[in-house]
Structure 1
Amino acid sequence: MTEQGKFLKVFSVAENSVAFVFKNQKFEQVLQAGVHRVWDLSNALTAKYFDANSIYYSDPESFYLIKSYPEVAELVHVWKLANDELGLLYIDDQLMGIVAPGEVLQLWKSAGEYRLDRVSLNGDLEVTRSVLEEIKHRGKNEVTKLISSKGSVKRAPVAMVEVKPQHVALLYVDGQLVRSLSAGMYGFWQLNHAIEVKTYDLRSRNQEVSGQDILTKDRVTVRVNLTATVKTLDPVVAAEQVENLDEFIYKSMQLALREAVGTKTLDALLEDKLYVNQTIKELVEQELDSVGVKLERVGVKDIILPGEIKAILNQVVEAQKAAEANVIKRREETAATRSLQNTAKMMENNPTLLRLKELESLEKVSEKVSNLNVYGGVDQLLRETVKLT
């Protein structure tokens, strides 16, 4: 190496890169792509290389260099967001990411044509339809995709809300009810706010209370299954009064069912099955109405008895039916005897009727006889064949 080469330092800067030259750790100049030979008599020159295609200019000394040296500032876009706004970063009209509130962006101008759309977080937080579709299409609604150097953001930038047909949703921002949402797809900025959505089904729906083991007044355990049809009429009242509407409806009907069954004996329940339905409706209807819910119908599906109780009841029913059948049999026998008695009295006072009865008897006898020889005339035949004493 010659003496001249000893003091000549070569910096090779790759395509789409840039180098910052420092002398004794103080900024000297910017080197663009190419091979650069610079005199360094005191061997005090160093260089930092940056990939300008990486979009983001990240360096501990970036703020100082941009502020102090115009040649550095010309290479970089600098945007600062307020704490109550976020940014939508576009490069060549393509959404590259969502920028967190209070963030400072330093972007290499050579990477493309930039645009930063600022969004205030103090007004309407709903994301416009076009932006929402673009965020979903680009897959930018993730914490890991959020442009933030602080690393303190723990949730996605947009709260996605889908409201199904025949449903309504209540939007709460920081605990305050803001508006009702009809069927559709929505998005709301949630970086600086707590977004909560409560959804309610406006259709009539079934509410089941199944497998309830209840002790009756006469200490018999029965299992009762109850079904009801309810409909939410006022979601706002429901949201204000109870935290979990379905759980509230279930508990109300469960307690009413236990009260209705527990105050009646088993025989009374089996004799009057509508009693339980009517009692539950009286106990629950007003309570549900106070939380914006209408009780349309309620009924006991079935009452399941223990095995030994069921066997005893079957024996009781069998004995009752046998007794009823015996009564009916005796009643028919009595009627038949009474009819015979009446017939005998009528024939006793009416010889013609008696004669007709004799002929009827003779007809029945003759049906079973193949040949009949008559001696002494018909009168003799009648007297000898049919004798009434």
Structure 2
Amino acid sequence: MSILETILGRQRVLVKENERVVALYKGAILAILEPGEHMLPNRRGRLETIRHDLTNPVFSSNIEKAIFDRLPDEAARQLTVFRTGRNEVEVVERDGQVFAALAPDRRLTVWTDAGPWTSTRVDASENLAVDPALMRRLGQARKAELMTVHPVVDGQAGLLFVDGTLAGTLEPGVHAFWNVGKMVQVKVVDLKRQSLDVAGQELLTRDRVTIRVNIAAEYQVVDPVKAVTAVKDFAEALYRALQLAFRKTLGAMTLDQILEKKVSVDEDAAAKVRADMAAIGIEVFDIALKDVILPGEMRDILNQVVAAEKQAEANVIRRREETNATRSLLNTAKVMAENPVMLRLKELETLEAIAGKVERLTVHNGTGGLMNDLVRLRDD
């Protein structure tokens, strides 16, 4: 400060292009200074200046209200105020870029010259859905804390609940909703064909044998609203329905009947399952008994029964073959008895077979003795 400034009780204040200065004299707001050189009163050092860098465009000060009360025209020219109502959301943009997203009952004050500023205000009480273009911009700017995003892919349906009440269904796509003032939930339901396994179910057959079975069924959700609102969990409801149907069906059958027809299920029980599920929007297709698992001791007994049956079948086959062989021998004996030449040929065949298996063969009476009878038979 120069001597002249001290004598005159004034102070020179230099404001840069990227700055704004709030000046107070004797504790009262004097002015908002724009870029340039300013001479301000400063008797006894009572001048106070507060500098603001426009690179941070937000004006946050405990004297903000006093500025608007004392200098309303100047404040309105220098500062831009964004304020939201009880159910409103406002997206503030700076030079075409998302700068902030204001929740309900919020206020944001910025330096006007740090702009240009624009805003989009939405009444969330009337429209909870976020415009898809705005949703993408908020996501890219990482200002998505005021909305929830719910993707729904092909083959799915989304059920929208607002404050616990069903508000509608959502088609495949990406949906966003403002999460202010109301509770928004989206339940995604798969509409594709699915399979359900009921594994390891123990039951007692009619002949009092305890078995474990594995059941399989294929189903598809055809009415997602009914499937979600009629029961707490539609998959669990189908699971229980299959359990009861098979317990009723298999409990009335013997073990032998179950083993003989294990790939089928009673049509009446299956029809009841399908009807009960159709009432809650579920279409049931194939129902099958996949596996029947026996206790260890019962499995051993059945193995023994099967082994005995196979052994009996083998014995029958063996006796049949022995009978056929005996009958063939009897027919051969009859032929030889009626034809002595055939008998002698058989003897020679046997001798040939024996000669092929020994190193030396001794024939008494010479070859003539061996062949005489055959020659004589030929002469006859």
Which TM-score band applies after superposition, normalised by the shorter structure? 0.7 to 0.9
1:121-270 alignment, distance < 5 Å = 121-141=124-144, 143=145, 157-216=146-205, 220-270=209-259
| Aligned twin of 2:360 | none
Distance (Å, rounded) in 1 between the aligned partners of 2:3 and 2:141: 57
Label 1:5 to 1:229 Cα distance change in 2 as closer, same or farther (>3 A).
same
| Aligned twin of 2:109 | 106
3-state DSSP class of the match of 2:371?
coil
Label 1:63 to 1:358 Cα distance change in 2 as closer, same or farther (>3 A).
farther
Once the 2 structures are TM-superposed, how far is the Cα of residue 115 of structure 1 from its aligned partner? 0.2
Note if 1:284 corresponds to 2:286: no
Aligned partner (choices 47, 72, 89) of residue 75 of structure 2: 72
3-state DSSP class of the match of 1:368?
helix
AA matched with 2:283:
K
Report if the CA contact (8 A) 2:150-2:176 is conserved: yes
Between 304-313 and 235-244, the greater mean CA deviation after superposition: 304-313
What is the number of equivalent residue pairs in this alignment? 361
| Aligned twin of 1:373 | 371
Report if the CA contact (8 A) 1:375-1:381 is conserved: no
Aligned partner (choices 316, 321, 325) of residue 314 of structure 2: 325
Once the 2 structures are TM-superposed, how far is the Cα of residue 288 of structure 1 from its aligned partner? 1.2
Aligned partner (choices 114, 119, 122) of residue 116 of structure 1: 119
Once the 2 structures are TM-superposed, how far is the Cα of residue 331 of structure 1 from its aligned partner? 4.5
Distance (Å, rounded) in 2 between the aligned partners of 1:357 and 1:267: 58
Report if the CA contact (8 A) 1:53-1:110 is conserved: no
| Aligned twin of 1:5 | 6
CA shift digits 1:276-309 (9 cap, x unpaired): 4657524422221111111111212222233333
CA shift digits 1:58-114 (9 cap, x unpaired): 123313421441222221012322222211211111112222122222111121100
| Aligned twin of 1:387 | none
Distance (Å, rounded) in 2 between the aligned partners of 1:337 and 1:237: 77
Note if 1:48 corresponds to 2:50: yes
Distance (Å, rounded) in 1 between the aligned partners of 2:347 and 2:32: 142
Once the 2 structures are TM-superposed, how far is the Cα of residue 116 of structure 1 from its aligned partner? 0.8
Once the 2 structures are TM-superposed, how far is the Cα of residue 325 of structure 1 from its aligned partner? 2.1
Report if the CA contact (8 A) 2:215-2:287 is conserved: yes
Between 26-35 and 116-125, the greater mean CA deviation after superposition: 26-35
AA matched with 1:110:
D
| Aligned twin of 2:364 | none
Label 1:46 to 1:375 Cα distance change in 2 as closer, same or farther (>3 A).
closer
Mark the runs of 5 or more structure 2 residues left unpaired by the alignment. 353-366
Once the 2 structures are TM-superposed, how far is the Cα of residue 340 of structure 1 from its aligned partner? 7.2
Q: What's the TM-score, normalizing by structure 2?
A: 0.81
Mark the runs of 5 or more structure 1 residues left unpaired by the alignment. 144-156, 348-352, 383-389
CA shift digits 1:106-137 (9 cap, x unpaired): 11112110001112223343322322222222
Distance (Å, rounded) in 2 between the aligned partners of 1:318 and 1:36: 114
Distance (Å, rounded) in 1 between the aligned partners of 2:285 and 2:191: 13
AA matched with 2:54:
A
